[in-house]
Structure 1
């Protein structure tokens, strides 16, 4: 099958390794063509659909999944319509349009935009490209772990990642199982106010947040995918909440240390090693999935200093 994503580097971070006292590796998904890991899964889903003759992709997104769908449509010669909430920045909207996508801004949060996208896709008999809840997405994201097995001499002590709707978490756990790394814990990082997985695990059942109050809007799914909740209970997944301020501090420190800009949502994962949180203290090595995010600029990072 044709692949639209790039094999990303696994960087041994000397600043973070010194900070934690163990090897820390960064899986640099921010270097994907669209700026985030989303292209792995969305690209796979769109290629599969194109091979079936689908000509129109409809995406609902806070930004990054939509960019992946628009990129896939451009590469594959298909039509893309992307529904985004009003919280999606103008820069991301411009990038979507530059890829040839029709952009429809509607609703205060992703869930609102998604409901409109579902209805639109049904009316137009188009493919609905869900941002996190589809087996092809998880299969695409799982390839990240395939690359880790090639780059590491032994399994890591843990894998750290951000959680929004849970697509990345699900794909990584599936990949760990396929690699025979079932024993490797996953540290699932969320910001307070966008912590739908943590709330579900606390309740012992899927729950829906009344609203997204975190500034990390691309983590803003009020309810995680059922499969994400299932793998989080079956695998050794350790759920951690951090504040927006902790995620922002990690986002800034990472830019200083590694000269790479990432969204606040990615700062949630980085906060695990910059804070650091107790859940990584046990590990003899750490892999952080630097999921990236296209909705960040030097100006936005400067304006959020001290958030």
Structure 2
């Protein structure tokens, strides 16, 4: 059995009425660790464990680190997660709840990642948060489940951070023969490394990240994400932090499920009928986020 679960696929009546079309939700916020990350991370951890890895090292202040910690605890493998100083105390506590050793280092993920790389020994496995073919193959299982349910959409909406989810979803679409299903890839304006790459025609490093959607905070998107945009119909969309936060609040009211602003970016687009064109059946990947609290979302909204 894989470490991830098969998540519910439902039609959202409130969102369908708001958007004037059929909106379907793949509820990966219900994964045991709170996000879709467990699909790819679990797949990678199981393979590394089978090959003899006796310790997992990761660099992530959020969902990827939580997925590695959950996978390690499930497999009986110790886990070290290096997080940047910007990681919230709640995220650190959640990592410790999964028995992970937490090291705080640097002002950004890039700095935390540099230290993490130095901690990998001969019998260890490094689990990247987004840029690894093993992760993409694991994330593709999300589309396998949708295909098995016979629910082919006219378009699919997802959030983009480092590009791991996008890369996995496109892999899943291709292996299920859904090459004609476009992906609407959404970022917040302060963390739009994928949008910058699409515009430039090559990956670029953002000088800074200013979005409160910190889970989307990769200064440079994975090369594979840009390759997906070349080989598959992918539309790049931007929303504001405020729109993402408002979507989180609205989704909580509509479906009694709290997600973080990174997930709110995709939901914000789904609530916008005017940008969905002629797509009549739209699937939204509700990617989740375990570190969100309603109090924090409301404080961010008040500050906008």
Structure 1 residue 304 displacement after superposition: 2.9
Candidates 248, 251, 272, aligned match of 1:251: 248
Match of residue 143 from structure 1? 141
Match of residue 41 from structure 1? 40
* Larger displacement relative to structure 2 (203-212 or 181-190): 203-212
Match of residue 282 from structure 1? 278
* Larger displacement relative to structure 2 (206-215 or 164-173): 206-215
CA distances 1:199-251 after superposition (whole Å, capped 9, x unpaired):
00000111011111111111111111111111112110000011101111111
Query: Per the alignment, in what secondary structure is the counterpart of residue 75 of structure 1?
Result: helix
Match of residue 231 from structure 1? 228
Match of residue 90 from structure 1? 89
Contact kept, 8 Å, 1:250 with 1:275, in 2: the verdict is no
Contact kept, 8 Å, 2:61 with 2:91, in 1: the verdict is no
Structure 1 residue 276 displacement after superposition: 4.3
* Larger displacement relative to structure 2 (102-111 or 5-14): 102-111
Candidates 215, 219, 228, aligned match of 2:216: 219
Query: Per the alignment, in what secondary structure is the counterpart of residue 285 of structure 2?
Result: strand
Match of residue 257 from structure 2? 260
Query: Per the alignment, in what secondary structure is the counterpart of residue 182 of structure 1?
Result: coil
Candidates 156, 177, 181, aligned match of 1:184: 181
Candidates 211, 219, 241, aligned match of 2:238: 241
Match of residue 295 from structure 1? 291
Give me the whole-angstrom Cα distance separating, in 2, the residues matched to 1:139 and 1:40: 9
Contact kept, 8 Å, 2:61 with 2:92, in 1: the verdict is no
The two structures have a TM-score, normalised by structure 2, of: 0.97
Give me the whole-angstrom Cα distance separating, in 2, the residues matched to 1:235 and 1:201: 13
Structure 1 residue 299 displacement after superposition: 2.1
Gapped regions of structure 2 (runs ≥ 5): none
* 1:269 is the counterpart of 2:266: yes
CA distances 1:126-145 after superposition (whole Å, capped 9, x unpaired):
21100001111000000000
Give me the whole-angstrom Cα distance separating, in 2, the residues matched to 1:97 and 1:203: 40
* 1:161 is the counterpart of 2:164: no
Match of residue 129 from structure 1? 127
* 1:102 is the counterpart of 2:101: yes
Structure 1 residue 150 displacement after superposition: 1.7
CA distances 1:46-94 after superposition (whole Å, capped 9, x unpaired):
0001101101000111310000000111010111000111221111100
Structure 1 residue 125 displacement after superposition: 4.9
Structure 1 residue 109 displacement after superposition: 1.7
Give me the whole-angstrom Cα distance separating, in 2, the residues matched to 1:87 and 1:218: 12
Structure 1 residue 266 displacement after superposition: 0.4
Counterparts in 2 of 1:95 and 1:276: CA distance versus 1, 3 Å: same
Give me the whole-angstrom Cα distance separating, in 2, the residues matched to 1:95 and 1:284: 39
Residue-pair matches, total: 303
Contact kept, 8 Å, 1:146 with 1:179, in 2: the verdict is yes
Contact kept, 8 Å, 1:192 with 1:241, in 2: the verdict is yes
Query: Per the alignment, in what secondary structure is the counterpart of residue 304 of structure 1?
Result: helix
Gapped regions of structure 1 (runs ≥ 5): none
